[in-house]
Structure 1
């Protein structure tokens, strides 16, 4: 539906710009005049350059892009939906209680702010897709799902967390497969 609306808007813009160009060409004397086909292509290219319409990639194209970036992937055919599903390897970092838990209240608060800033930065940079704490008081305090091609990268990013550096949290990272593009419900 959104693509149809964008195409409709694009067509209106093409018509408006084309009308403007044709009327302005009448006022110009002895200038090179484009053929109607050339004018339409010029206007079309200009509009397409200004309207950012997302191009939907095929499963094969997504798989090739991910593989080129070093991600592990595989596909399978879903009989029920008749779709090819692309699976991608992610990494889950389990944030566990660390060995150094004796920080005072102010230090803990500062570490928490730095921890949340780190997780926000990971999300903004596209390295992490989901982060969140567990609500019980167990040994595992939370998780972060890293969207990076290697365990080494995920481990390095998780270890850069200020809470981990301070020893308040420890990490345990595991490879995990999920269908590309599926959302939580």
Structure 2
């Protein structure tokens, strides 16, 4: 009986030591394991986006892997019809902001804003769409564009998925 008890205790100790080995892995080994998991997640996310019709590729630099996605940078430029009176211009501005809010809420616009200078390019909108044609169509729904106060210029643009401004 004593022998059975010692065998059982020895087995439990051996098993618990093996289970705790991962807790004492070096930080480097833990980072490698984390990167493997992230890499699998990135590939799954890339596959899902491609199935949905988005353009993506995976870029690795050293120990870092990025999921790159194609977005569409829309430059809002001064249009040919900017002679509206102040009341009409203010109404168009409200409708313009409402349109941009809707694009953001529906997940089409990822980044947007006006330029501070008074140049030809008045602002930008980065569209998260499958195609240039879709981004162009959404940008042309803007009441300011429809009124001719703004016009759009669309360019494909690549950036890391989930990137942020610092």
Give the TM bin, normalised by the shorter chain.
Answer: 0.7 to 0.9
The equivalent position to 2:68 in structure 1, one of 68, 79, 87, is 87
SS in 2 for 1:120: helix
Match of 1:114 in 2: 95
Q: Structure 1, unaligned stretches of length 5 or more? A: 1-55
Task: Give me the whole-angstrom Cα distance separating, in 2, the residues matched to 1:92 and 1:77.
Answer: 24
Two-structure CA RMSD over aligned residues (Å): 1.2
SS in 2 for 1:58: helix
The equivalent position to 2:48 in structure 1, one of 48, 60, 65, is 65
Larger Rg: 2
- 1:78 matched to 2:61? The reply is yes
Alignment TM-score, normalising by the size of structure 1: 0.68
Task: Give me the whole-angstrom Cα distance separating, in 2, the residues matched to 1:165 and 1:77.
Answer: 42
Which residues of 2 match residues 120-139 of structure 1 at below 5 A?
120-139=101-120
Q: Structure 2, unaligned stretches of length 5 or more? A: 1-37
Task: For CA contacts below 8 A with separation 6 or more, give which structure has more relative contact order.
Answer: 2
Match of 2:33 in 1: none
Task: Give me the whole-angstrom Cα distance separating, in 2, the residues matched to 1:84 and 1:135.
Answer: 35
1:83, CA displacement in angstroms?
Answer: 2.3
Residues paired across the two proteins, number: 128
Alignment TM-score, normalising by the size of structure 2: 0.75
Q: Deviations over 1:19-46 (max 9, x none)?
A: xxxxxxxxxxxxxxxxxxxxxxxxxxxx
Match of 1:24 in 2: none
Runs of 4+ with deviation above 4 angstroms: none
Task: Give me the whole-angstrom Cα distance separating, in 2, the residues matched to 1:113 and 1:153.
Answer: 23
